[in-house]
């Protein structure tokens, strides 16, 4: 296990299309987080899972966004009916239950044309 992995690394899509990203956390980590990072900004929290339960969602996560973590392993983030404003880097991170240090993946860069 070499760390958090994300797939794909880059995604270009047309406005209105649906996209899905995958995150594989460090295997022994119970907590998984999704962030969004736009140009000139730091990562902004989107949502958080503890095992398979989605426990927190940011108001940034509109109803076009949905995240899942079946069986508490990998997670997917889906964006429906993409808009140009969704263009960003989507970061995944994971951590142990009892620690706050988060380990980040390389990110998926989404470009919506």
Partner 1 sequence: AQRVTQPEKLLSVFKGAPVELKCNYSYSGSPELFWYVQYSRQRLQLLLRHISRESIKGFTADLNKGETSFHLKKPFAQEEDSAMYYCALSYPLMNTGFQKLVFGTGTRLLVSP
Q: Which two tokens stand for residue 88?
A: 């960003």
Minimum separation from the CB atom of position 15 to partner 1 (A): 27
6, 107 in Cβ contact below 8 A? Answer: yes
Q: Does 90 bind partner 1 (CB under 8 A)?
A: no
Which of 41, 51, 73, 111: binder of partner 1 (CB under 8 A)? 41
Q: Does 7 bind partner 1 (CB under 8 A)?
A: no
Handedness of CA 17, 43, 25, 53 (dihedral sign): negative
C-beta closer to partner 1: residue 14 or 27: 27
List C-alpha distances in Å: 78 to 26, 65, 71, 86, 99: 21, 6, 17, 12, 27
Q: By the criterion CB under 8 A, which residues form the site for partner 1?
A: 3-4, 33, 40-45, 48, 50, 55-56, 91, 100-107
């Amino acid at each position: 296990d070499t760390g958090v992995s994300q797939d794909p690394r880059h995604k270009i899509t047309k406005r209105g299309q649906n996209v899905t990203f995958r995150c594989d956390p460090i295997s022994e980590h119970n907590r998984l987080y999704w962030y969004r990072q736009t140009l000139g900004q730091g990562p902004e929290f989107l949502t958080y899972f503890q095992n398979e339960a989605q426990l927190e969602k940011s108001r940034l996560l509109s109803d076009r966004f949905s995240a899942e973590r079946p069986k508490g392993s990998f997670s997917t983030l889906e964006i429906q009916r993409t808009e140009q404003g969704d263009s960003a880097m989507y970061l995944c991170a994971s951590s142990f239950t009892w620690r706050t240090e988060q380990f980040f993946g390389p990110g998926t860069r989404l470009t919506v044309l």
